[in-house]
Amino acid sequence: MWSVVWRRFTRSRLAVFALIYVAIITLLAIAAPLVTYHDPYKVDLVHRFSPPSAEYRFGTDDLGRDVLSRMIHGARVSLMIGFSATLIALIVGSFLGAIAGYYGGAADWIVSRLIEIVLCFPFLFLVLGIVALFRSSLATIMIALGLTSWTTEARYVRGEVLRLRELEFAQAARASGARDSRIIFRHLLPNALAPVLVSASFGVANAILVESALSFLGLGVQVPLPSWGGILSVAEQVIDYAWWLVLFPGLAIFTTVAAFNVIGDRFRDALDPRSE
């Protein structure tokens, strides 16, 4: 099945380009200390607010730090938060959704009410509340984003498990005496993950966007750790004469979020058998 999905996915040049872009950004983030010429933490007040030049390709910020180096290291932070938060949401949502879909009854009612309670609160305000309540750090942001965005995955998995548990292979596993845990995690859950993986791509984009918003508001990644939103927050007061502090991190956030959205959208189409 996955070979067919990949063949359908690669028919879109835009999706392939988005995938290559994400791969390049990820490799740059992993190899950040090796590919950056300047120290992203080095303060050089003599060169503060220097425009883009041969030495500082993306200019410098208010403390004379190289913006390009800070953006590459900031990519590591943004992608780490995006992937980690999505992984937490996948684990929590898939587990609760599988339990609700397989057992039904009281388990389904409890999980459904829990989903409704989480959805009652505006997502960004809920994350802001958690981050403000605890000390702002990478771990806090990852956990806050993961524990507030699992509802979509839970609903997808619940719906798929409700359908799959009545099929012949699930009934055969049940008739053979397999334990419930084996049926859920060995047979049902792997077959229910396709729509969840689509949601995960959108989840990474959303996590990156929310992290940038938190850093811009001063509640995200704390200085001196670089982040795209943190660079934008510096630019708020100096946009008239330091345009590069807005253009480059803003463009990085836009293109990265758009790339993940394109990948998720095309992946969803590739999983649809009617796309042939």
The tens digit of pLDDT for each residue in 162-192 reads 888 888 888 888 888 888 888 888 888 888 8
* Cα–Cα dist 127/133, whole Å: 10
Return the domain boundaries, the chain. 2-31+64-275
Phi, psi of 56 (to 5 degrees): -115, 95
CATH label, 2-31+64-275, candidates 3.40.50.1700, 1.10.3720.10, 3.40.50.1000, 2.40.37.10: 1.10.3720.10
Residue 2: pLDDT above 80? no
* Cα–Cα dist 86/215, whole Å: 18
Query: How confident is the model at residue 16, as a pLDDT?
Result: 92
H/E stretch holding 216: helix 194-217
CA distances (Å), origin 13, targets 24, 25, 265, 266, 274: 16, 18, 13, 10, 20
98 has which bridge partners? none
Structure tokens at 249: 């991190």
Cβ(221)–Cβ(178) below 8 Å = no
Give the position of tokens 């806090």: 140
pTM across the whole model: 0.86
